[in-house]
Structure 1
């Protein structure tokens, strides 16, 4: 009887882990969608259309003509309207307003889904020991992300015609850190790491370095978006016939070029993307020769394919001069590469003898 009771408790634990994992996977999917919505919001230059921070009342969109006129009047006070969209009609304003409203609404919805699920599993005692602090940290990071979002938007209300590229980079970086954190936990609950092979430890270190390269490439892409640097040079593989464009270091101090010079920012993103693909292929070749679990080897196959596909999307986006749909797809591709990196890390378990201290 005692053995049966223990077996039942273990079965309940596996069932609970699966339920929590599926919920977190759903939250991760919502964050993925949020990243794409955010890309569309930026590409359509819709982010400054709502000048009020109203976490509760802002859930509802305008319901009267008077409210639309009031919000439009607020937007007319921004430098973006005065210098870029002067004379915009109310109808066109509604077009950019809806993207920003959807972006904010989806963020609120993620928070509600996460908090409701967290409390439900917590109060019913269905969270394994040690998981609650991680989920609490995720919720706190989500709240911080909302504040960072407003911090970013507010940068476009005074002297700029768009938001600060630094704050945009921070906003995107935090969003994807939350995404990777949630995805990591979800995978751990749904598909525990298999025992690895003798070469897993060294390959894991290489994969962590690759994850840093992926992060740097994505953050460089945020600078490209913030400065509209994707419109500067629309040729590939060279930039106006040169590998390093002529205007790379025109700003002073020189380090400002890395963050504020559209020419340098686009070049850096290109270079990082190419290095990411080469690194992915290098890891794939390494995995072919390494003594690792078959699941890990398949993960490296997918990672190499994902990196190549993302490079293709990036080149197409550049050559077609950044159409909204393709720019959003390129953002989605970046999140896919990040997801595959997380998946590969979770598949790269250590062998039992190597795992011992």
Structure 2
């Protein structure tokens, strides 16, 4: 019985990977809402199995609330919080963790079933195993992040939040790329170095910008300097350099400034990339793909400005985080298309450049 096509194509595996990617996208958005509502520290214990069950009665709720009262966030930020208020933030954090558990099941169970049935193309088995391992690591990173806010801080450390977000986005990119590989099958042609390198640099720059956004979120830098294009009337407000290297991770002015500058660089780079692709009239949708990249970059930048000048209301903050994941998906697909389509394009004959 044929498990997959001769070139390693499996549509069933691709659909499974794309479905998992959609859940990871939802996880990123829910994580953003959890952060914006200040809910991330409401569950003060890490119980990978038993933690799947929420408090089931009044005594359980009182116990969970009492544990929350022992951390600095309650003492310094929410000393007047009632049990009903605690339940609100608890449910957001619980939903975030529960969705993570669902993703683990949705990925792990089909993985082992497909593996037993020999339906995963051999070249993709290792990639899927790595994605499974990264998913497990993400749970550990999530607790490492939360633990930073349970004793000496009233929130989580920005660098840990950025690490947690970054790993989620790496998994998201890996799921999309591997899904595309399973959908299309294997090819051996090498892409032209220039275009492939340019698309890869663009993807890397978007990923770094997402990490910078994570630092902004962790430092709560979006709630200050809400004017634009200046920051409190200056290009760069005063920076407190006393923290040394941590200044680049914690100082609100600096992390927001870095996020802004990186956004401007991305807009310029993405626009130049799209214009060049269009001028070369790249076939098989690559010119269109490049224009989509530029369009989503401009839309995300505009959304970022609107979110900032309104001091990050919940719905705009969540939408901006969702937009970041969408941009990352688009540039990932664009790089995959460049690596897959351009070899056939250039092997078919020399291109005529449009001047």
User: Does TM-score exceed 0.5, indicating one fold?
Assistant: yes
Match of 2:278 among 257, 266, 288: 288
Aligned counterpart, 2:30:
37
Matches for 1:7-18 after TM superposition, within 5 Å:
9=2, 17-18=10-11
Write the distance in 2 (CA, Å) between the matches of 1:97 and 1:13. 50
Q: Kindly report which structure 2 residues correspond to 1:270-289, keeping only aligned pairs within 5 A, or say none.
A: 270-289=260-279
Match of 2:219 among 224, 227, 231: 227
* 1:22-71 residue CA offsets vs partner (Å, 9 max, x unmatched): 00000000000000000000000100000111111111111100000000
Determine the structure 2 residue equivalent to 1:167: 160
What is the Cα deviation at residue 131 of structure 1? 1.5
Q: Which residue of 2 aligns with 1:265?
A: 255
Most deviating of 305-314 and 124-133: 124-133
Partner of 2:333: 343
Please state how far the C-alpha of 1:251 moved relative to its aligned partner. 1.2
Cα offset, 1:132, TM superposition: 1.2
Aligned: 1:49 with 2:39: no
- When residues 166 and 193 of structure 1 are mapped into structure 2, their CA distance, relative to the original with a 3 A threshold, is same
Seen in structure 2, the aligned counterparts of structure 1 residues 343 and 182 have a Cα distance that, compared at 3 Å, is same
Deviation at 1:288, TM superposition (A): 1.2
For structure 2, which runs of at least 5 residues remain unmatched after alignment? 348-355
SS of equivalent to 1:48: coil
Aligned-partner Cα distance in 1 for 2:9–2:203? 30
Map of 2:169 onto structure 1: 176
Aligned pairs for 1:200-239 within 5 A:
200-239=192-231
Say yes or no: does 1:310 pair with 2:296.
no
* Distance in 2 separating the partners of 1:152 and 1:60: 21
CA-atom RMSD in angstroms: 2.2
Query: 2:123 matched to which residue of 1?
Result: 130
Q: Which moved more, 1:232-241 or 1:289-298?
A: 289-298
Find the aligned partners of 2:189 and 2:117 in 1 and give their Cα distance: 35
1:207 to partner: Cα distance: 1.4
Alpha-carbon contact 1:32-1:179 (below 8 Å) kept: yes
Question: Could you tell me whether the CA contact under 8 Å between 2:9 and 2:181 is conserved in 1?
Answer: no
CA distance in 2, matches of 1:195, 1:241: 54
State whether residues 233 and 240 of structure 1, in contact with CA within 8 Å, keep that contact through their aligned partners in structure 2.
Answer: yes
Deviation at 1:165, TM superposition (A): 0.6
Structure 1 gaps, min length 5: 1-7
Please say which of residues 131-140 and 188-197 is displaced more in the overlay.
Answer: 188-197
User: How far apart, in 1, do the equivalents of 2:108 and 2:188 lie?
Assistant: 33
In the TM superposition, what is the alpha-carbon distance from 1:110 to its structure 2 partner? 0.2
Paired residues in the alignment total: 345
CA deviation after TM superposition for structure 1 residue 197, in Å: 11
Query: Counterparts in 2 of 1:104-143, with a 5 A limit?
Result: 104-143=97-136
Tell me, in whole angstroms, the C-alpha distance in 2 between the residues paired with 1:39 and 1:194. Answer: 38
> Displacement of 1:187 after TM fit?
1.4
How far did residue 213 of structure 1 move?
1.2
1:323 is matched with which residue?
Answer: 313
